[in-house]
Amino acid sequence: MPTALAALEEAYTRRGSKDRADARAPVVGYVGADVPVELLTAAGVRAFRLTGDPESGFALGDRYLGRGVDPVARSVLARLLAGSFGDLDRIVVSHDCEASLRLFYALRELHRVEPGSGLPEAYLVDILHLPHRTTARYNRRRIGEFAARLEAWTGRPLDLAGAVAAHDERRRLLAAAAELRRAVPARLTGRQFLAVANAVLPVDEHVALLERLLAEADQLAEHAGRRVFLSGSDHDTPHVYEAIESEGQVIVGEDHSFGGLFMNEPVGAGGLDALAERYHHSGPTAHRATAGERAAHAAEAVRRCGAELFVAYCRAGDEAPAWDFPEQRAALDIPAVLLERQEYGRADLTALRKEHPCPT
């Protein structure tokens, strides 16, 4: 039997495609960090997060979305149009960042004016993040609408309690797995953790593999190397992790939605109210939090994972993280470098190669 880590890494190579579970269930591709996946599980649909591919062209994405949008969204759109995700019954999009929202509008409009494009119907779940009661009430309404829509699609009631419990368990295990990379030396690389967290598996299978991974922890290799905290843009693929770790670094923490950022509090037993609150308070992401919140979070996370170097990676077309950097640097007591306007899937590591990387 392969190790749990090997099985998780194998499942990660299938990112952007459906898992092997129940072939009769409807298939939903979703976009962004703010889709309440618990509801998709509760509806009994097969759901997976749509990811881009920096190695295949996305000219059609450029055409429909314009080149000012995060290339991840452009790539996802191009792959949808190329049928790379297989047959999808629905697409669910969140408003986690401007690129996701523009992607939703493009999908909605293409569905309307170019029915020949073969795109399924897209649905927007508009979860917002200002820390106010007005926003909390709005989110609760949107969560309720989405739950009702899912019931209408599938024609059956949601099993919310069971789904939330399963996702909470997965979250708890992922937080435990994150401790393995915080160990000194790290027992998981950043690239491995990305695979562990984003393996494409039904929740119960994912949970079983995570349990086995933790049981096998003392067989995991040790990873020395300069300990890096990776801040900034989302990483829907391992390319940038591989580039940074290929030069003697190990990424021990990050603050984006495919990594350690979303392993926060469990949803618990509060039903839709609790779910709405959890998604309201998720983050702090580069796209929805203030620079001050991001800086405070970075200082705490860097301390917890014993990072020696802070790298803020900002993809060209994804400008929000660059606004966080001055505050983040001021809040840290380790060197910090900014990689600005990076090409999708690449990292210009010149700054990391300097002995003293701070630009000041």
Partner 1 sequence: MPDVRSRSVKSLDTAAEAGRHQREWFADLRGRVAAGEPFALLNADVPHEIFRTMDIPYAVSQWWASLVTAKQRSGHYLELVRQRGYPDYSEQYNAVTLGSAFGPEPEAGPWGGLPRPDIVVCDASGDVTRKIFDIWGHEPGVTFYPLESAAENEVPVNWWELMPHRWEEAVGPARLDLLTAELENLVRFLETTTGRRFDESRFREVMALANEQEEWNRKARALVARARPAPLSVVDSIPSVMLPQWHRGTEWARDLARRFYEEVRDRVDAGRAACPGERARLMWIGRGLWYDMGFYQRFQEEYGAVFVWSMYLAIAADGYIRYGDDPMRALAARFAAFSDQLYTPPWSSEWYVKEARSHGIDGVVHLVSDDPRGSYFTARALEAAGFPVLEIHADNVDTRTFDDDMVVRVGQWLEDVVMA
Among partner 1, ligand SF4, none, the one that 165 touches (CB under a kind-dependent 5 to 8 A) is none
In a 13 Å sphere around the CA of 304, the CA atoms on its Cβ side amount to 16
Q: Which of 273, 310, 286 is nearest to 136 (CA)?
A: 273
Query: Could you say which of 276, 335, 345, 352 contacts ligand SF4 (CB under 6 A)?
Result: 335
**Residue 349 or 358 having the CB closest to ligand SF4:** 358
Spatial separation of the C-alpha atoms in residues 347 and 178, rounded to whole Å: 24
The radius of gyration computed from the CA coordinates of the chain, to the nearest angstrom, equals: 20
Query: Could you say which of 44, 89, 108, 357 contacts partner 1 (CB under 8 A)?
Result: 108
Using CB under 8 A as the binding rule, the residues of this chain from 337 to 356 that contact partner 1 are 340-341
Among ligand SF4, partner 1, none, the one that 126 touches (CB under a kind-dependent 5 to 8 A) is partner 1
Spatial separation of the C-alpha atoms in residues 353 and 308, rounded to whole Å: 14
Stretch that binds ligand SF4, among 41-49, 204-212, 242-250, 352-360 (CB under 6 A): 352-360
Residues ≥6 apart with Cβ < 8 Å to 202: 19, 21, 46
Query: Applying CB under 8 A, does 296 fall inside the site for partner 1?
Result: no
**Residue 119 or 338 having the CB closest to ligand SF4:** 338
Strands (DSSP E) contained in the chain are: 27-31, 46-49, 90-94, 121-125, 226-232, 249-254, 309-315, 336-342
Per DSSP, 123 falls in state E
Spatial separation of the C-alpha atoms in residues 262 and 247, rounded to whole Å: 27
**Residue 187 or 287 having the CB closest to partner 1:** 287
Among ligand SF4, partner 1, none, the one that 329 touches (CB under a kind-dependent 5 to 8 A) is partner 1
Task: Using CB under 8 A, list all residues that contact partner 1.
Answer: 63-69, 95, 97-99, 101-102, 104-106, 108-109, 112-113, 123-124, 126, 128, 130, 132, 134-135, 137-138, 141-142, 145, 286-288, 290-292, 318-320, 322-326, 329, 340-341
